């Protein structure tokens, strides 16, 4: 179980690091081209989401790897789960059903990490 959790943590971290760095640091016209929803929210919110995803991605791996406050891995996974629930609500309100599948998969992977690191294979 520990190996499966590390694989999921690593893959989820890479995904959120990539997406978060794009939303957080790319020029806004490029962000708005890649993420059409960004045209309909304030620029600061797009940047906030990006930085949150970036920090969440780091939080999935760094505390567990360093052994410094490893419970923060669970908190990071919970936080990313909240981000995904909010994303699903936002996309539902805009009738963007095509992206809900990806949000749901990411939510389930984050919840897998929460349950796995809290109950099945604690750090």
Task: List, for residues 26-67, the tens digit of each pLDDT value.
Answer: 999 999 999 999 999 999 999 999 999 999 999 999 998 999
The model's pTM? 0.89
The answer to whether the CB of 44 falls within 8 A of the CB of 24 is no
Q: How many Cβ atoms sit within 10 Å of the Cβ of residue 40?
A: 10
pLDDT of the residue at 26: 95
The answer to whether the CB of 113 falls within 8 A of the CB of 73 is yes
pLDDT above 80 for 123: no
- Cα–Cα distance, 49 to 26 (Å, whole number): 13
């Amino acid at each position: 179980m520990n190996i499966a959790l590390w694989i999921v943590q690593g893959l989820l971290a890479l995904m959120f690091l990539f997406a978060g760095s794009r939303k957080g640091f790319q020029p806004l016209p490029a962000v708005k081209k890649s993420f059409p929803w960004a045209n309909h929210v304030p620029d600061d919110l797009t940047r906030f989401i990006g930085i949150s995803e970036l920090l969440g991605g780091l939080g999935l791996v760094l505390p567990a790897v360093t052994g410094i406050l490893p419970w923060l891995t669970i908190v990071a996974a919970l936080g990313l789960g909240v981000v995904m629930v909010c994303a699903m609500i936002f996309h539902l309100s805009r009738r963007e059903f095509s992206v809900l599948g990806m949000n749901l998969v990411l939510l389930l992977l984050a919840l897998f990490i929460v349950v796995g690191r809290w109950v099945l294979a604690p750090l």
